[in-house]
């Protein structure tokens, strides 16, 4: 998990938390699970994030940076997820 603190990564609340898969769609959600590319968000922030593409991109890029620093190279990331968002 990118950040295992049990607080919403957006607003800081500890209420009504959900997992957000930072990389999702096109079969990528399971890969994000395997790689721990997940953060906690409260339900309200989670819904807002999925409705706002520029916020969602921030979390996708954060996940890619985490992967490249802790798991593998950019080339490995691109092979696994099909592209780079950085």
For residue 8, being part of any structural domain is answered with no
Domain around 71: 17-81
For residue 25, being part of any structural domain is answered with yes
40-77 pLDDT, tens digit per residue, is 999 999 998 878 777 788 899 999 999 999 999 999 99
For residue 12, being part of any structural domain is answered with no
What's the average model confidence in pLDDT over 1-21? Answer: 92
Residue 27's pLDDT band (boundaries 50, 70, 90)?
A: confident
Pseudo-torsion of CA 44, 50, 53, 57, nearest 10°?
Answer: 90
d(CA 4, CA 71): 17
pTM: 0.87
For residue 74, being part of any structural domain is answered with yes
For residue 4, being part of any structural domain is answered with no
């Amino acid at each position: 998990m990118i950040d295992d603190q049990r607080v919403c990564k957006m607003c800081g609340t500890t209420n009504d938390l959900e997992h957000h898969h930072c990389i999702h769609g096109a079969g990528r959600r399971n890969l994000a699970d395997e790689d721990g590319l997940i953060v906690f968000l409260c339900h309200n922030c989670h819904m807002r994030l999925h409705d706002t593409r520029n916020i969602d991109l921030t979390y996708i890029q954060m996940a890619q940076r985490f992967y490249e620093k802790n798991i593998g190279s950019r080339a490995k990331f691109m092979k696994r997820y099909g592209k780079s968002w950085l």
